[in-house]
Amino acid sequence: MCLAVPAKIIDKKDQMAVVEVNSIQRQVSLMLLPEAGIGDFVLIHAGFAIQAIDEEEATLTNQLLREMNGSA
């Protein structure tokens, strides 16, 4: 099973972005989602942004992931 994690784009340069998930930042590729921009929420899988989502969906999904981890 694969899991995509919601993240917010906080910086973008060419086809690379810096995203933030639970106060952790990392670089991801926007090759599959070049229209994504700073402030957008995206699903991240294997270092790639694969789908744009809205903030409400990102918040709900991150809350569910925290609950599954026992840190809600």
Low-confidence residues of the chain: pLDDT under 50: none
HSE-CB at 66 with a 13 A cutoff on CA atoms is 11
Per-domain boundaries in the chain: 5-33+42-69
Please tell me the predicted confidence (pLDDT) of residue 65.
86
Please tell me the predicted confidence (pLDDT) of residue 53.
97
Please tell me the predicted confidence (pLDDT) of residue 71.
67
Q: What's the per-residue H, E or C state across the chain?
A: CCCCEEEEEEEEECCEEEEEECCEEEEEECCCCCCCCCCCEEEEECCEEEEEECHHHHHHHHHHHHHHHCCC
Rounded (5°) CA angle 32-27-58: 70
Q: Which CATH number fits domain 5-33+42-69: 3.30.420.40, 3.30.70.980, 2.30.30.140, 1.20.1740.10?
A: 2.30.30.140
